Amino acid sequence: MANNTSKSLRNTMLYQVYVRNYSNAGTFQAVKDDLTRIKDLGTDVLYLLPVHPIGVKNRKGGLGSPYSIQDYRAMNAELGTMDDFQALIKSTHDAGMKFMMDIVFNHTSYDSWLFEHHKEWFYQNEAGEYTNRIADWWDITDFDYSQSKDLETYLIDTLVMYAKMGVDGFRFDVANILPLSFLHAAREEVLKVDPDSIWLSETTHGFFTKMIRDQGFSALSEGEIYRVFDMSYDYDLHPYFEGYLKGEKPLQAFVDFLNMQEEIYPENYIKMRNLENHDFGRIAGMVKNSNTLKAWHALSFFVRGSTMIYMGGEYSDPHLPDLFDKDVIPRDGEDLSDWIRTLRKVTDDDALSHGAVTYTNANGGVEVMYTHGEKTMVGLFNLSDAKGHAHLSVPDGTYKDLLHGELVTVKDGQTAWPMSAIIFTL
């Protein structure tokens, strides 16, 4: 992990935008016009999915995947011009937020500028075919970093170009199948331009990492990723999260893994918590009960790490927008914007970023306790519409719930289950 990564980054909220499907216009300007609302949610970092021209050859869907890139140094004309992109960066800064962009350095489209001009930089299979290591990614062809250091130079220069434009952070697609030496070199050069640059790793699920290794290719562990990146997706936790929602895994397995993260990662590790993103289903599609949905949102803010909202999540949207075609997010579900704003304010506390944390299975929900100096913060999250009383690991007494302003009574180590969540200090 970057040794200088600040634990304060745990108190960060990211808002993920897929420009094509964010609005009817699907442009940088339309995002720019909505920055005040995005900031008002409590957003610290605006994060955009890839914004570059999309390949035509072997295209998925009608408009193609933004992860099948033709030219890293150009903008998708459907979204706007390079000037429009830079104007969005400036407006994001003016609104008091940082700007993060998606980086896809494992592959390009089959009709990319680099494939046309530097085929020697690309992976070939045993039959000499230019292809990829993942069978269902038929619209892209992989780099082969072993062929030339010139590839690394070109990609690093591209990162530096965007850092000089004012891009404050980079989210790396499938970061754990990129060479560690390249990632080190790239971060070193970017930090020369912006010492505060934030690096987010999309580290893949453990089973995916094993699959890549079983095929004879390299894949980095989460521990190795933290040598370079400030924060990483919580895809290691995801099977326990989704397994619980589907009734396939017990809540205890989810809680146990949260506690294990405290044991196996660097002391200043940061997980980027997200209930949904462009790759997997909407939480509102899996959790139908409104109070339980609010509890999951509350837990995602209160567990150790930064938090990301995927566009439309604040409207309880059960529909995951299509990645390959025009599919604008609906905004007609239950509006949780006020709830998200409240969560953001209550959880912006040094106890969460610097304190010691313990997760406990409360038999129907999760109890989370942070201790930092003389301060203790406790959260109880009802994940199963539980009724009656829950056991808490706090002294008997009366406490003020910071989420609703109401009093919470603990007697004989028990309190009434909240409808969604409570957070209080001792």
Q: What is the CATH number of domain 351-426?
A: 2.60.40.1180
Tell me, what's the pLDDT at 3? Answer: 62
Distances (CA, A) of 343 to 296, 302, 311, 378, 404: 11, 8, 17, 14, 11
Q: What is the pLDDT of residues 308-318, one digit of tens each?
A: 999 999 999 89
Alpha carbon distance 5, 312 (integer Å): 30
Q: What is the pLDDT of residues 352-408, one digit of tens each?
A: 999 999 999 999 999 999 999 999 999 999 999 999 999 999 999 999 999 999 999
Whether the CA torsion 215, 221, 224, 229 is positive or negative: it is positive
Amino acid at 323: L
> What's the topology of domain 7-348?
TIM Barrel (3.20.20)
Say if 7-348 and 351-426 have the same CATH topology. no
Q: Write 401-410 long-range contacts (CB < 8 A, 24+).
A: 402/346, 403/298, 403/342, 403/343, 403/346
Q: What is the pLDDT of residues 279-336, one digit of tens each?
A: 988 999 999 999 999 999 999 999 999 999 999 999 998 999 999 999 999 998 999 9
Identify which of 232, 167, 238, 237 has the alpha carbon closest to the alpha carbon of residue 201.
Answer: 232
* Domain layout of the chain by residue ranges: 7-348, 351-426
| pTM, 2 dp | 0.96
- Which residue ranges of the chain lie beneath pLDDT 50? 1
Tell me, what's the pLDDT at 136? Answer: 78
The Cα diameter of the chain in Å comes to: 72
Alpha carbon distance 320, 329 (integer Å): 8
Tell me, what's the pLDDT at 1? Answer: 43
Tell me, what's the pLDDT at 179? Answer: 96
